[in-house]
A and B are shown apart, each in its own frame.
Chain A
Amino acid sequence: MSTTTTATTTKLWGGGKSPFDVEYGKLMMWYFLMSDALTFGAFLISYGTIRFSTNGWPDPNKVFKSYPFASEGVNAPLVFVSIMTFILIISSVTMVLAVQAGKEMKKKAVAINLILTIIGGIAFLSCQAWEWNHLHSEGAWWGLNPFLNADGSASSTNFTNYFFTITGFHGFHVLSGVVINIVMLIMTLTDQFEKRGHYLMIEKAGLYWHFVDLVWVFVFTCFYLI
């Protein structure tokens, strides 16, 4: 540590500046997301643990096989959920564009992309609402599982318990993301960021939104694919 004082000031970790070259808000957002990753991780790992400790499990393809306006008894597994997945990916893309536009101080582009993101989020939530409603109409709910295991034996209720809890928790995150984005939109339109001279807040909202997308990647795989 025998550095002279002049050398210290230029050092990354030498104090007096952020070693990561980011403001504290973004740093906090990252650490919050890590913490939230542990929350979701704990949920999904619990789900895995219960699945591993059970002999049979329902086949997702026989459960999630319908889509809106489909005729009764349609058999189209993975179709609807892939639409949901793409909606979320696209909304993530528009969010990236909004953040990028913010960096370039283009207010109009920010607003347009934010609106598109919000629409994507609402579309996703609507899809989820439809799916929940559909499953509910089939008799599935917390504590109610009408589906059988893949091998035809009786299934415990934990299939639906975990499905509703985890997608519900994810949906709650999407909802809060949409609310955050609406706030960002209002702040953009009222020129609050212009006055501040930077759109850093949108970057943080963007991080949150991408995280929601990231979680969906895991939820989608764990519940629908494997």
Chain B
Amino acid sequence: MSNEAVLHAHSGAHDGHEDHSHEHHHQSFISKYVFSQDHKMIAKQFLITGMVWAVLGGFMSVLFRLQLGYPDSSFPWLETILGKWAKGGHITPEAYYALVTTHGTVLVFFVLTAGLSGTFANFLIPLQIGARDMASPFMNMLSYWFFFAASIVMLSSIFVETGPFSGGWTAYPPLSALGDASPGSKSGMDLWIVSMALFVVSSLLGGLNYIATVLNMRTKGMSMTRLPLTIWALFFTAVLGVLSFPVLLSGFILLIFDRNFGTSFYLSDIFINGVGALPNEGGSAILFQHLFWFLGHPEVYIILLPAMGMVSEILSVNSRKPIFGYMAMIGSLFAIAILAFLVWAHHMFVTGLNPLLGSVFVLLTLLIAVPSAIKVFNWLTTLWRGNIRFTPGMLFAIGFVSLFISGGLTGIWLGNSALDIHLHDTYFVVAHFHIVMGVASMFGMFAGIYHWFPKMYGRFLNNTLAYVHFWVTIAGAYMIFWPMHYEGLAGMPRRYYDYSIWESFKQFQDLNQFISLVAMIVFAVQFLFLFNFFYSIFRGRKVTTQNPWDANTLEWTTPINPGHGNWPGEIPEVHRWPYDYGKDGVDFIPQTTPVGADESVEH
């Protein structure tokens, strides 16, 4: 019940000593670094696993961008690494689709869900609400290991003989339901489903923990309206996950039956070339799309909200100003979380969706523009006349706002069912969601890493490398995805293998080459970040003060390298909201400072 009770099993870890070598006596390597129940270590495990997947997923995009940019050239080295999937140095169509699919799945679920909210929810929730650990450290550990198992299964699917699943990350039947539909639909798809089922379990375990921790374990004085916006965002993220992932699980269970037990939930009137007519009758492939997008749409907010929360915090800290419209920020997060559940069918306007129903979905979809705009204006007004410190974290946070605006505006186009008839499944969509959800959330993640790295490892990241990383990445992101809008408006569909053989899309050959080139440069620059990250863990400049960013939130009241239990003594009590920057002429007032007698009114 109390925060203290949670750690009663580990009472030895926080008995008032700041001497951390003391802990090593009763913590083996396995219990400290592998099966750790410390939320900070679990966060790092999520982060590093996510980074491994980001590199793999990014590399996949480089491979298929090679095909798109240089469809006529052959690259013998491709055959060296891909074998039969790149005969003669050409990526085969099967391999191309497998790469696109795995890139999508991995980036959406493993990097931007587990890697982002897994990392920062684990790391920040207990530290910022003032708890010793999560509500259930054991379930938290299980959450990571289920994710790890999902990773291993997904990784193994890349190496099966018929290749990984290749029907798109959305796994629409019949490609996902019929083994004979394509090579990737065979054992690759089985492994894909198993992996995703494990992933659902992982996110459920994590999400339940985050919710229970935020609600139940806040320290004394930390009322809900004194929570940093990071926590609010992570809280809503967890709620979205807990309520939407089970629907995906149901959809997958039905899919498993269709694949293996002769049912026809999603199948009807199907004819496969070389196989003939199938006996399945009465199912509806659209049903799967409904079930998938019932998760799929909240999923994009599961990806985006943590980034929004961290950006809010980082912008405020580095503008030395209170966040503008704190309650409006919470309200808009709440509104987004609700609307996220109501708009899924805007992904399905051209499936034959009932037009009247479609128009309701248009209305609900366009409503999301309201809370999104509130957030954008609040970020901008937070920056307005601020005393801005352009730390790398801050730059990425500003980059996030920029990308969110650019990508969000095209969302208003796509939310209209009439426009969607033209734009559906074109590069316009690819550009839209990569900017607003993919790159923007990546920027939020980078912002979080640069900002909280000192808390994670007690050292700073190198700033010069960080600046190069930022500028190349943001310029590259726009150079990659901006031109895609034009291609999409011209009707260029996504997921085609070779555009050069189409009279209508030949003209974009040079543009595609340009995009591919930039994509490779941006991918290469990420290694600067990786080098910076791993080098700085061991050799970075040491943090010498408890509070290097002069921030108000609770995590900066812990020791530089907090042990398990976070605070060596009592958990501090909170007396104010986290955004007292520049109040009454004082630069910053930490949350633990009691309200002074002659202080002006709180926010």
Contact = CB atoms under 8 A, between A and B. Distances in A.
Given A1-B225, A38-B247, A42-B246, A16 B208 contact: no
A176 interface: no
Interface in A28-59: 28, 31-32, 34-36, 38-43, 46, 49-50, 53-54
A47 B82 CA distance: 43
A69 to B, nearest CB: 30
Nearest to A42: B250
B284 A15 contact: no
Contacts of A17: 1-2
A34 B261 contact: no
A8 B247 CA distance: 39
A8 B591 CA distance: 14
Interface residues of B, number: 60
B265 A38 contact: no
Contact of A16 (B218, B253, B575): B218
B64 to A, nearest CB: 33
Contact of A49 (B217, B223, B290): B290
B7 to A, nearest CB: 13
A49 B208 contact: no
B284 A50 contact: yes
B283 A158 contact: yes
B209 A42 contact: no
A4 B575 CA distance: 8
B284 A43 contact: no
Contacts of A157: 262-264, 281-282
Given A50-B284, A165-B257, A28 B601 contact: no
Interface stretch (B98-106, B110-118, B237-245, B451-459): B237-245
A42 B215 contact: no
Contacts of A36: 246
Nearest to A37: B246
A198 to B, nearest CB: 11
A156 B577 CA distance: 60
A19 interface: yes
A85 B601 CA distance: 60
Contacts of A126: none
Nearest to A12: B223
Nearest to B213: A24
Nearest to B225: A1
Nearest to A11: B223
A9 interface: yes
A23 interface: yes
A24 B212 contact: yes
B574 interface: yes
Given A31-B211, A157-B281, A42 B220 contact: no
Interface in B184-227: 204, 208-209, 211-213, 215-226
A62 B220 CA distance: 62
Nearest to A18: B216
A66 to B, nearest CB: 24
Nearest to B204: A35
B529 interface: no
Interface string B268-298: 0000000000000111100100110010000
Contact of B577 (A1, A14, A20, A38): A1
Contacts of B130: 15
Nearest to B242: A35
B256 to A, nearest CB: 10
A40 B224 CA distance: 32
Nearest to B599: A2
Contacts of B6: 24
B573 interface: yes
B284 A49 contact: yes
A139 B46 CA distance: 49
B262 A142 contact: yes
A27 interface: yes
B215 A156 contact: no
Given A46-B254, A158-B282, A16 B265 contact: no
Interface residues of A, number: 48
A169 B249 CA distance: 12
A161 B287 contact: no
Given A15-B223, A46-B291, A50-B283, A1 B602 contact: yes
A218 B602 CA distance: 50
A46 B287 contact: yes
Contact of B263 (A1, A41, A161): A161
A20 B264 contact: no
> Which of A42, A53, A142 gathers the greatest number of chain B CB atoms within 10 Å?
A42
B371 interface: no
A18 B1 contact: yes
A143 B263 CA distance: 4
A139 B99 CA distance: 43
A80 to B, nearest CB: 25
Given A28-B136, A39-B249, A53-B284, A142 B219 contact: no
A187 B376 CA distance: 54
A86 to B, nearest CB: 28
A156 B264 contact: yes
Contacts of B291: 42, 46
B594 interface: yes
B17 interface: no
B58 interface: no
Interface string B557-586: 000000000000000011101000000000
A16 B219 contact: yes
B399 interface: no
Given A42-B251, A158-B282, A165-B257, A14 B287 contact: no
B209 A23 contact: no
A43 B253 CA distance: 9
Contacts of B431: none
A218 to B, nearest CB: 14
Contacts of A32: 204, 208
Nearest to A29: B208
Contact of B243 (A14, A19, A35): A35
B4 to A, nearest CB: 11
B220 A15 contact: yes
A35 B246 contact: yes
B220 A8 contact: yes
B466 interface: no
Contacts of A20: 215-216
B242 A43 contact: no
B329 interface: no
Contacts of A71: none
6 contacts: A8-B223, A16-B220, A17-B2, A24-B136, A43-B250, A157-B262
Q: Which 7 A-B pairs have the closest CB atoms?
A: A156-B282, A143-B262, A16-B220, A42-B250, A15-B222, A15-B218, A24-B135
Interface of B: 1-2, 6, 129-130, 135-136, 139, 204, 208-209, 211-213, 215-226, 242-247, 249-251, 253-254, 257, 261-265, 281-284, 287, 290-291, 294, 573-575, 577, 594-595, 601-603
Given A15-B221, A28-B135, A156-B283, 13 more contacts: A5-B594, A8-B220, A14-B222, A19-B216, A28-B136, A28-B211, A35-B208, A40-B250, A42-B251, A49-B287, A156-B281, A165-B253, A165-B257
